[in-house]
Amino acid sequence: MQADVMWGSRWSENSLAMARVYMEAVCRKQSLVCLAADRSTMAELEQLIDEVGPYIAALKTHVDLVDDWSPDAWSAFCSKAADADLLIFEDRKFADIGGISRKQMSGIYDIRSWADLVTAHLISGPDIVDGLQAGWSDVGRQGGVLLLAQMSSRGNLLVPDYTGNVVSVGKNHAGVFGFIGNGSRPEELELLRKAVGDGKLIWTPGVNLAVGDGEMGQRYGDPREAVLAGSDCIIVGSGIHKAADPAGQAKAYADASWNAFVERCE
Ligand code: S5P
């Protein structure tokens, strides 16, 4: 089925080109999975793309946790991701003032040149989104910002009032691709979806087929429940990259997310 039909008002009410690129990728790959590729060597990262590329729609990186990072190796890795039809999402969680965030898009990692999406906290105010967008413009590229509206970790300080403020600023900002919501708590996610409406996407970490508490305060909810509660993308890390059979697990997450999406569309 066509992406515009499947996504309905999420498609028609979203004006950001990058959001439609993602929505089309989901339908092509029949997967709402973004892999959190939290491995610490270039070889391990490349191996992950080879194994799970067909089952995921996007790839989330933490460029600063790679031990043997080099510009050439990273550029080869990004080409591999493009060949595997993946959006690249650098989870940098920017939080500084607009002008500094713009500069942080360059520097040694030069995130603006390869990332399609980045995360940001809105704690410093709305100019951070303009700063990040200016970073992409500086190299003639376009990208989208995912604002952290909720978090999956226990005891986080993104309380409902804060979430509401992030949503009211972000939903009207053209540079905002969507919001990070808490995949471990479907009831919180439903409230977030109500506040966001259909004009922006919601991506959710804190998702695992084994529901419960994870390492160091991480919390996990079920992929199907997250999608039914309004998530447009499940961000899965250790559930895939630490599995004995990453490809088999990636397929299981792809199927769970896609089936829930189809159920949501009916
Ligand atoms: O609230 C959040 C926001 C993010 S982006 N909680 C998170 O866990 N994340 C990220 O999602 C985190 O940085 C990690 O890369 C991924 C979750 O990985 P997992 O191994 O717990 O699935």
Q: For 63, which DSSP code?
A: G
103 is catalytic: no
* Residue 223 Cβ < 6 Å to ligand 1: no
Residues, the chain: 266
Please give the tally of structural domains in the chain.
1
CA of 5 to the centre of ligand 1 (A): 30
CA of 89 to the centre of ligand 1 (A): 12
The catalytic position among 93, 103, 242, 251 is 93
Grouping H, G, I as helix, E, B as strand and the rest as coil, residue 120 is strand
Can you list the residues of the chain whose pLDDT is less than 70? none
The domain of 96 spans 3-265
* Residue 51 Cβ < 6 Å to ligand 1: no
pLDDT at res. 196:
98
CB contact set of 112 (below 8 Å; sequence gap of 6+): 105, 106, 135, 136, 138, 139, 141, 143
What is the b/e burial string over 188-199, where b = at least 16 CB atoms within 10 angstroms of the residue's CB?
bbebbbebbeeb
The atom number, within ligand 1, closest to the CA of 36 reads 15
CB contact set of 194 (below 8 Å; sequence gap of 6+): none
* Residue 237 Cβ < 6 Å to ligand 1: yes
The atom number, within ligand 1, closest to the CA of 93 reads 5
The atom number, within ligand 1, closest to the CA of 60 reads 15
Evaluate if pTM is beyond 0.75: yes
Looking at residue 210, its amino acid is A
What are the DSSP calls for 164-196, one per residue? HHHHHHHTT-TTEEEEE--TT-HHHHHHHHHHH
Q: For 2, which DSSP code?
A: -
* Residue 152 Cβ < 6 Å to ligand 1: yes
pLDDT at res. 15:
79
CATH number at 225 reads 3.20.20.70
